[in-house]
Structure 1
């Protein structure tokens, strides 16, 4: 293969699976081709290589790239593309000061660059190469219908597990640009790359595999495991993943074990698309129904779970319509001379030191009313004391009872299903509280309707275990039992 600015042949280093995939799609035309691979398997490298090959084979062509949101895709994907093109292809980003470079990101290219046959009017979502080849990002979460009517010579999707099958009805008809103009087998092909899907929404990629069995002349599918890329990974990469990941995650994301759906879960009514807001950066001023998701001028609710080796809290703000899970805070070890409860309180105080309305309701684990080792005060009293010293008005309102397992399971899932008129709803900041989302999704159910807490044993990442999901349970139980809690001006609790 040759780079765009150097006629000497390049030796492109790829693993065996990557080589088979690239050789297959450049030597025969497929309507669809898919690659599903685990952590470190090299699928992103294959995507970068495919795009660079396409730029060489189809000058002045336009390739669409479907993503959930353009802003997030730019921030997450650009560095990987640049690194691969620089190292593997000796291809560098254009410098407008020196006039040197091979491609331009997110702005109109210089006049020395050729223009695509169907050049865009707006270049802010485009990567353009000197020979006129263009890659144009399209966001689908907020405006899928706006993408209808485009014309592309090729189309790619990265992380197909987040791309809805319904969006393909918008994408596939756009593969119609410049018929007969290019001899490349990539022309008018659709490609998807992805991590293994965890939810039913991402299972559509495996339909490509079934189509490839029935129509191998039109469809191609490859599955890549982490071990397939071992030559390009640190020697201890897989053993380290096995040590830090929970068994289920390791089996799926490293060993390539497929699951048609998650294990029977404690939260069957939980739906990431509905309950989680995750297409934003941590510093974004996230909004819900036109109001700030996190409001510094509103009091906080901390739903706590106390354990010897992992003490945690989810941070909430609430109104009559929503319980907004704005954050999660956890500690894994106590400070010298202190307790885990004190370490959690310190972490909350530091995280929210700039919070304007320094009023907080402590709720959660009723065992927190017990005294902990190293203190003659209860765990709630310890949290209260540290936050009070930091200038907070604190109201303690822990759970005082435990409902039956089946009742708790049914009540929580009835709320999550949102089928009762005028009932409040849960929404979660999926960026700041990502660990809680994972904890919810990794909470199997036992035959007696209790939550399977086996993930809390062992050396795995405890933020991915069921601890944080317990704090969600506590918040929902407290609010369903007592109603909306507000701290009044005399710092007592009133329930509405």
Structure 2
């Protein structure tokens, strides 16, 4: 089927999609809730850019190359298929095969095709990830599409993508073109502080409505294509009013200004560090989940043990992976399973497959003291059961939790001094892998604090509320706390005494 015939396929767009499609502005910020039809509208704009600008070069940008491979590319292909465009017929991905199939070439023919979507009329989309400063270098593009924009860094987007949006070939067909230099951003409502920059486009739209289009929409615009009880069904699935409101209803989460981690700063403490050299060896025609394991993580010291922390519960079992690397304490990953799955699943289905290729199979194992409680109908405690599961996967396990759980006030003082990042002697800098630890970050950013007669305490009520999804309650934040206190409290106390100051005087 030819490109022109494909474009004649009858597609019924929902109201949100139609408004976005008809908007004449060159810059579009679409903040849409789940189920609104983001993949379809993204595919539509790609198809239109192909139609109006044959042989042009565009960019499809994601936060990381891993995200592009595991999510963006898959959803884009699915959206294109809805519109009647098929891989290896209308376009090819990551291969030179298009030339052999008679495809036209773009005006600027790339040296490498491994990260290209090549269309039959010669238009190409280059896949650009913001975690690789060089992935957009040297490109002369004529527009771009940004997927999951709220996950992206605004400055990196400007440097790696916006700076390339400048190519003006002389062909007449491009004059007065509605997609020349277009910027299309598709995202859901940000649920962490780092993504809030996308919301400023509402003010830009007010200031310059001829250039900027800003739209918030929910799946209520797409009811005809969804099950009748979709919102009620999703509310039961989320069980979390904050995340449900953000991802489904596009309501911006309330910022916790006086939470348990007031020193937590996305610009300082969050990072991404994927091994793109490894990811680029994965053929774009073979994007199986088995490729996305610890081999894609460049932030690991592979000769050192992993610090594994677990929090046990009836509704959820959480696991966080960290590593002490000299003067830096890195939180590198987190996993969870919820009921009806049990503790075994988070180890057997999540941790062991992900770290199958990790060479130093040694764990320093920290856990909540409730882990010393016996498992029902077993002589083993939760912690012993978990340790045996790690050992069955070939790992050596050192049990590190001793004594009772510390009070919240000492944890609050220690952790927030460490987060201040001021180089206090003996205390490492804390860094969190934002790509792997999304749920941990949400848990920490939304962990509130209670001022009680006994001192400051972490507000744990989220763990008992049916309206809070448990991976975003305080469980995960506790897995962050346990090893830090065990490893550094004594150092913190000694350094405070040597400077003739009380431990809490730095807060």
Coarse TM-score class (shorter-chain normalised): 0.7 to 0.9
- 1:172 is matched with which residue? 162
Question: Matched residues in 1 for 2:145 and 2:362: separation?
Answer: 49
Higher helix share: 2
- Structure 1 residue 234: Cα displacement: 2.6
- Out of 414, 420, 423, which is 2:423 matched to? 420
Retained in 1: the 8 A contact 2:39–2:78?
no
Corresponding residue number in structure 1 for 2:320: 314
Pairwise CA distance, 1:209 = 2.0
Please report how far the alpha carbon of residue 133 of structure 1 lies from its aligned counterpart in structure 2 after TM superposition. Answer: 1.6
Corresponding residue for residue 212 of structure 1: 205
What's the C-alpha RMSD, in Å, of the aligned pairs?
Answer: 3.8
Aligned partner of 2:475 in structure 1 is 467
Match of 2:215 among 222, 235, 239: 222
Q: Deviations over 1:106-125 (max 9, x none)?
A: 22321522222233232222
- How far the C-alpha of 1:188 sits from its partner, in A, is 1.9
Alpha-carbon offset, residue 342 of structure 1: 8.8
Give the match for residue 103 of structure 2. 113
TM-score, length-scaled by structure 2? 0.77
More deviation, 173-182/212-221: 173-182
> Secondary structure, in 3 states, of the residue corresponding to 1:155?
strand
| 2:463 is the alignment partner of 1:456 | yes
Describe the shift of the 1:186–1:270 C-alpha distance in structure 2 as closer, same or farther (beyond 3 A). Answer: same
- Structure 2 residue matching 1:221: 3-state secondary structure: strand
2: distance between equivalents of 1:81 and 1:365?
42
Residue 443 of structure 2, aligned match among 439, 452, 457: 439
For 1:331 and 1:91, the matched residues in 2 are separated by: 37
Structure 2 unaligned segments of length 5 or more: list them: 276-290, 493-507
Cα distance, 1:414 vs structure 2: 1.9
Question: 1:369 offset after TM fit, Å?
Answer: 5.0
Correspondence for 1:397: 401
C-alpha distance in structure 2 between counterparts of 1:385 and 1:187, whole Å: 59
Structure-2 change in CA distance of 1:229 and 1:207 (3 Å)? same
Is the CA contact (8 Å cut-off) linking 1:165 and 1:201 kept in structure 2?
no
Map of 1:147-166 to 2, 5 A cutoff?
Answer: 147=136, 150-166=139-155
Deviations 1:68-110 (A, max 9, x none): 333531332222222222222x22222xxxxxx2212122321
**CA shift for structure 1 position 249:** 0.1
Larger Rg: 1
- Are residues 332 and 213 of structure 1, via their aligned partners in 2, closer, same or farther at CA, if it must alter by over 3 Å? closer
Map of 1:20-419 to 2, 5 A cutoff?
Answer: 20-25=19-24, 30-88=25-83, 90-94=84-88, 101-108=89-96, 109-110=98-99, 112-143=102-133, 147=136, 150-170=139-159, 171-178=161-168, 181=172, 182=174, 183-245=176-238, 246-259=240-253, 261-262=255-256, 264-271=258-265, 274-277=269-272, 279=274, 282-286=292-296, 292-293=300-301, 295=302, 298-328=304-334, 360-368=363-371, 394-405=398-409, 407-419=410-422
Secondary structure, counterpart of 2:45 in structure 1? helix
- TM-score, normalised to structure 1's length? 0.79
| Cα distance, 1:212–1:130 mapped onto 2, change above 3 Å | same
CA contact (8 A) 2:274 2:296 kept: no
Q: How far, CA to CA, are the matches of 1:57 and 1:47 in structure 2?
A: 16
